[in-house]
Copies of this chain bind each other. A is one copy, B any other.
Amino acid sequence: MHTITNTRLLKVLNNEPVDRTPIWIMRQAGRYLPEYLATRKRAGDFMTLAGTPELACEVTLQPIKRFSLDAAILFSDILTVPDAMGLGLYFEAGEGPRFKSPVRTPADIKQLATPDPETELRYVMDAVRLIRRELNNSVPLIGFSGSPWTVATYMVEGGGSKEYQYIKRLMYGDTQALHQLLEKITTTTIAYLRAQADAGAQALMVFDTWGGVLTPRAYQLFSLQYMQAIVTALRKSHASIPITLFTKNGGMWLPDIARTGCNAVGVDWTTDLRDARSLTDDKVALQGNMDPGVLYGSKQTIREEVQRVLESYGSGGRHIFNLGHGIHQHIDPDNVEVMVETVHELSPAFHR
């Protein structure tokens, strides 16, 4: 790790000064890139792409080759974990992820396997090892998982959801069963993230995409508590690996997230970074938070909005530039280039 060329991300995560604000993009290896679509087409389907280390490596590197980004992030999906737990993940055209065997009853939960990451998820670890080799220490590699709550929503609903009917039935009807499910996912996720770190991931991120659909109390009990368990466990086994937690629509809970002992907190675009920084008091780095929709705008608008995000965070401190959520598929890659170059150009002024 000490031999890495571009250390900006790791420095900000570790509270060391940098020359400019590091930038990477959530879902940077994705459908907005023609080269990604070509590889995806060659793979045939998403699971073959994510499940073949050479292909996962190829798409992970595509945005690194195209843009001057400060980190690579493993190409994978948060639902590889429940897939390995036996749910049978598949993708329906235009329908998003689906599970063949959703988990609905206490009996379903009891039956769940807790897979060994180096066996059932070996393809992920092989991808991490291969990507590290190919990156050749140019930029750090971020590994990731979903939060137990977010993964549980997909496992119980059987796919994406609007009303969270089945998991809320569990939450308000059989709380203990839901906790058992979350514990199993947490155990698996800890092993999974440890294995990614052992395979070579240099930073870890936990995506809590659906924590924001909970009441403040339920967020603490069903989402944050289990992310806390992950941070605590990782700190024991991998004391120095930086961990980022990101709850979408979690703006009001930033102080609680920061208190878990994580290194950074992701912030979506609905919270001003000025407020996020004052709520977390520079105890953690903040990652975000340009509205992904800005990238539909003109080059001039993109430059103005990058400036606005940099200013909202302000000088010094620990800012990792990113979008507030994953990049959309219909974005012109040239606009991404404008965003990246503008961060390079304008952010040094905030680090003097």
Contacts and interface: CB of A to CB of B under 8 A. Distances in A.
Interface of A: 163-165, 168-169, 171-173, 212-218, 249, 251-252, 269-272, 275, 291-294, 296-298, 301-302, 305, 308, 328, 330
A216 B270 contact: yes
Nearest to A328: B163
A294 B214 contact: no
Stoichiometry, copies per complex: 2
Give the dominant DSSP class at A's interface. Answer: helix
Nearest to A167: B293
B291 A218 contact: yes
A291 B212 contact: no
Closest 4 CB pairs of A and B: A172-B297, A168-B293, A169-B296, A215-B269
Contacts of A291: 168, 214-215, 218
Contacts of A215: 269-270, 272, 291
Contact of A296 (B168, B302, B308): B168
A7 to B, nearest CB: 31
Contacts of A169: 293, 296-297
A275 B255 CA distance: 15
A272 B214 CA distance: 11
Nearest to A289: B215
